[in-house]
């Protein structure tokens, strides 16, 4: 009886180890992992949370994310921007708070939109758009919209944000979008 119990226990343990090994071997890293950037802009602490997609050999800006249409400025859930103090961006006041960031890419200038809606997925079904979806931007909730000039930059495979004392940057593909803030 004792021998049978030990054999059953050993079999259960072996099966459990096999399942655990198999499950961990199947896990793939996410295509657009969650990331963040934070730092001081003047006296304000700023943090940006986003999902960082990769190019994976694709042309994104102007094709998958068409020029002239709002984009969630990342992947998955919409990108969030938090500042603990008022900022001046493009000569306009952005009150302290939490915002969703959308961007409208274009070859010569980009719009950067700070929207008061929070917790948005970032896209919604849109049968009028050839892609079948569009950014979840509700213009009636736009708090601040600024226009910036894109800079050509070296290729950036994975979307990245950076915050420094002069504002923040969004870098991806072959562009760097710098937003001055103080």
> What SS3 state is found at 141?
helix
Give pLDDT, residue 110: 98
Per-residue pLDDT of the chain (182 residues; tens, 9 = 90+): 556 556 665 555 555 565 655 555 567 788 899 999 999 999 999 999 999 999 999 999 999 999 999 999 999 999 999 999 999 999 999 999 999 999 999 999 999 999 999 988 878 888 888 888 888 889 999 999 999 999 999 899 999 999 999 999 999 999 999 999 99
Interstrand relation of 142-148 and 167-180 (parallel, antiparallel or unpaired): unpaired
Give pLDDT, residue 125: 87
- Could you read off the pLDDT of 34-84 as tens digits, one per residue? 999 999 999 999 999 999 999 999 999 999 999 999 999 999 999 999 999
Give pLDDT, residue 135: 85
Residue 71: which residues within 8 A CB-CB, separation 6 or more? 65, 102, 103, 104, 105, 135
Give pLDDT, residue 16: 55
Element (H, E) at 145: strand 142-148
Give pTM, 2 decimals: 0.83
Give pLDDT, residue 5: 54
Residues 50, 54, 56, CA angle at the centre, nearest 5°?
165
Give pLDDT, residue 130: 82
Give pLDDT, residue 62: 92
Domain boundaries, the chain: 30-180
| Furthest C-alpha separation in the chain | 83
Half-sphere exposure of 81 (CA within 13 A, CB side): 33
């Amino acid at each position: 009886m004792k021998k049978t119990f030990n054999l059953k226990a050993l079999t259960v343990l072996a099966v459990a180890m096999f399942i655990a090994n198999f499950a961990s071997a199947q896990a793939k890293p996410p295509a657009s992992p969650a990331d963040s950037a934070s730092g001081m802009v003047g006296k304000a602490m700023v943090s940006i949370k986003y999902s960082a997609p990769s190019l994976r050999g694709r042309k994104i800006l102007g094709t998958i994310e068409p020029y002239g249409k709002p984009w969630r400025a990342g992947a998955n859930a919409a990108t969030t921007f938090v500042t603990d103090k008022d900022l001046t961006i493009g000569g306009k006041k952005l009150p302290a708070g939490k915002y969703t960031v959308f961007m409208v890419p274009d070859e010569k200038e980009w719009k950067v939109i700070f929207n008061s809606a929070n917790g948005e997925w970032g896209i919604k079904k849109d049968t009028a758009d050839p892609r079948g979806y569009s950014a979840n931007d509700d213009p009636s909730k736009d708090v601040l919209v600024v226009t910036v000039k894109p800079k050509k930059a070296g290729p950036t495979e994975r979307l990245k944000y950076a915050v420094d004392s002069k504002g923040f940057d969004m870098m991806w593909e072959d562009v760097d979008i710098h937003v001055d803030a103080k």
